[in-house]
Amino acid sequence: MHFFYKALSFLLYLSLTLAQILPFSVTGFLDSAQANAGTAVNRGGTVTISGYTVTIPDNLLVEFPALFVPFAEFTAGERAGPNEVTINGNIVGGQIIAGQMFMSQLSLAFGSGVISKLDTDGKITLASGPVLRINDPRARYSAGYTNVPFFTADDENPSISSFSGFPMCVPRSASDAQCPQSNRPAGATSFNVPQALNMVPIQVGDYVEYSGVQFQGVTLVYEMTVNVDIKTSGTQPGFVRIEETIIGVADTSVDVETARYRFIGLASRSDLPISVYAIDQDPCTGEETDRFITSTNVIASARNKFRVELPVNSNIGLYTRNYRFKVGDNVVTTSDGIKAGQFVQPVTEWIFPELVTPGGTPPPLVFDNIGPLANGFGPAAGDDTVFGQLKPWPGAVAPKPTVATCVKAPVTSAAGPQPTTTGPDDSNSQGTATPTASATTPTGPAPSQVRIVAFAGPDQTVLGGVNVNLFATQTVTGVAGTALSYQWSQFAGPTAGITLSSTTSPNISFVPPVVAVGAAPVSREFRVIITHTSGSQSNDTVVVVSDRTSSDNKVIDNLTWKNSQSGTATALAHTNLVDSSASMRIVFGSGTEQQMTKISTTNGIASYSFNARSTPRYTSAEIRSYIGNTRVSGPVVSSSNVLPG
């Protein structure tokens, strides 16, 4: 009997364990990949990696650096192995089911060097280094290469570019009209491009950074940044290079912590705003629709960098696989078929919620709010097969897709053993739909979100100890100010001694601490997020540098002299230098400095007065600010407007 109870206890524990939905993530080298039996292009299969056997659902697309590939096609194609694979999924009823699959040869593979030789057939030789070749099946950036199509460069969004995102090329001949030498001023490494609709040639001596795969003794490059600063201006379109597109999957549970949404990039011009859009796809037709997320301004500097970081768990609607970045509103097609003025970027990193309670049960990875996985990708192969919802679903209960059925049903395969789940019957979800049409509107934010663009004001360099004012504005015309709310925060730099006058007003102030004599300037960055009542958001940042060499803003308000008590002089003045160590002195005519009395510090202004007898008649006076015993530098502030007392 004792053995019976122990056995029963073990079986109950085992059943509870199998009933739990547990998260699963792994990165390792791919051991094998096998598609299910059949000919359907959207069929799934299995992979083995680091000792795990993982079920690949029907309709899953494998993500490469610039390409999404059906799993069955992936198993049959040239992968330039060995391959490193990352899989995110869940353990459902004891079965590991993938929700996402990312491929590389080595995920952190990276190289750099100086070009010592260029060949017209596309080979790039680095000094004391390897031979590179742009993996360019359509010959957009070079003479072309077709043997490894999965690890291709992006030929619609310039992944072979200058530092600022301008597309660059390897000349196919000495007079290559698609890669004209005339578009690169001789000897220049920073310039405004003469012709914005033509590429700029890469040259011997250029320093490059690249990512690629090793294949038959050559590095096939799918991404390259040439250390050349190419700008555009005037009526020319803007170009952009994206460094990060990070999605922190939302979860409001107190047991987990979630990451922010972050978009970072660089642009060829700083005078146009950057707008970020989610690209929604129709689950049946694949037709794309842009859904506005946020916008920001480029920080005018040598790098022309922009950074958008939205608060944790912000509502940005359904997540998508691609996001579109627009520079202003001018999108044009170049002579090479690239759409200038925009860049379409897949998510570079998905960060799922992390458990914060040691010993607790980790939450499953949530894929329900990733639109293409829950609703389908649409036609994603060469034929008209519709890639529907992942099946089997990598979770307890498959979500209801936004489109119940498509006109042409996607073909599915025998996907192996199905996990046991509970919940509503999903037999009519995409993947086994009957050929009748019935569509509903996709979920997510309403398309009536109002576009706004935040501006946090120009960067400032100020004297440490002065009152600094920051003014946030929204620059799109026709938007009611009453529909906007504001959220300020310090984004970077030392926080000690910084107190914002408000975090929710459009205009705020603070006082940076005094900088010691001879010390380096101190940089701080502040961000404002403007939210419209429709749900749209935009953010911008402003940099404030405090030093000891700038001046304060001081003003003489009143001067009087009265012929009594051997001459009575009075003076009133004010300054924005409000630090407690500051003081003000006054000089009458060519006399000596005399200390003024601080009478108040209100609304970022320190007011001073002076009143003394036995003062000879004077016709002008000068005021001087001090921090401690050190005079503040800057222009002379004086007045000859002396009134009778």
Q: Each residue of 441-498: pLDDT tens digit?
A: 333 333 457 888 889 998 899 999 999 999 999 988 899 999 999 999 987 788 999 9
Torsional class of 182: left (φ above 0), alpha (ψ -120 to 50), beta (otherwise):
alpha
Contact 179/169 with Cβ under 8 angstroms? yes
Contact 155/138 with Cβ under 8 angstroms? yes
pTM of the model: 0.66
Q: What are phi and psi of 68, to 5 degrees?
A: -110, 125
Exposure pattern of 452-475 as b/e (b: 16+ CB <10 Å)?
bbbbbbeeeebbbbbbbebebbbe
Handedness of CA 181, 202, 347, 392 (dihedral sign): positive
Average pLDDT rounded to a whole number, residues 38-55: 94
Confidence grade of residue 405 (pLDDT, cut at 50, 70, 90) = confident
**Helix/strand/coil for 324:** strand
Confidence grade of residue 381 (pLDDT, cut at 50, 70, 90) = low
Confidence grade of residue 244 (pLDDT, cut at 50, 70, 90) = very high
Distance of CA 174 to CAs 3, 132, 197, 200, 209, Å? 85, 20, 20, 14, 25
Q: Where are the alpha helices (DSSP H) in 379-437?
A: none
**Helix/strand/coil for 445:** coil
Range(s) of the chain covered by CATH 2.60.40.2440:
554-644
The least confident of 53-62, 122-131, 445-454, 513-522 is: 445-454
Contact 559/639 with Cβ under 8 angstroms? yes
Distance of CA 150 to CAs 124, 271, 432, Å? 21, 37, 29
Top-ranked range on mean pLDDT: pick from 187-191, 254-258, 414-418? 187-191
Strands (DSSP E) contained in 506-565 are 507-510, 522-532, 537-547, 554-562
Average pLDDT rounded to a whole number, residues 153-160: 92
Q: How far is 570 from 365, CA to CA, in rounded Å?
A: 73
The least confident of 113-117, 320-324, 400-404, 547-551 is: 400-404
Q: What is the CATH number of domain 554-644?
A: 2.60.40.2440
Q: How far is 51 from 499, CA to CA, in rounded Å?
A: 54
Looking at domain 454-547, its CATH class is mainly beta
Instruction: Determine whether 396 is exposed, middle or buried from the number of CB atoms within 10 Å of its CB (0-12, 13-18, 19+).
Output: middle
Average pLDDT rounded to a whole number, residues 331-355: 91
Exposure pattern of 261-284 as b/e (b: 16+ CB <10 Å)?
bbbbbbbbbbebbbbbbbbbbbbb
Q: H or E segment at 10? A: helix 2-19
Range(s) of the chain covered by CATH 2.60.40.10:
454-547
Distance of CA 560 to CAs 208, 223, 505, 569, 605, Å? 68, 72, 40, 6, 22
Q: What are phi and psi of 72, to 5 degrees?
A: -65, -40
Looking at domain 240-355, its CATH class is mainly beta
Contact 270/299 with Cβ under 8 angstroms? yes
Torsional class of 497: left (φ above 0), alpha (ψ -120 to 50), beta (otherwise):
left
Give the per-residue pLDDT at 310.
Answer: 85
Confidence grade of residue 78 (pLDDT, cut at 50, 70, 90) = confident
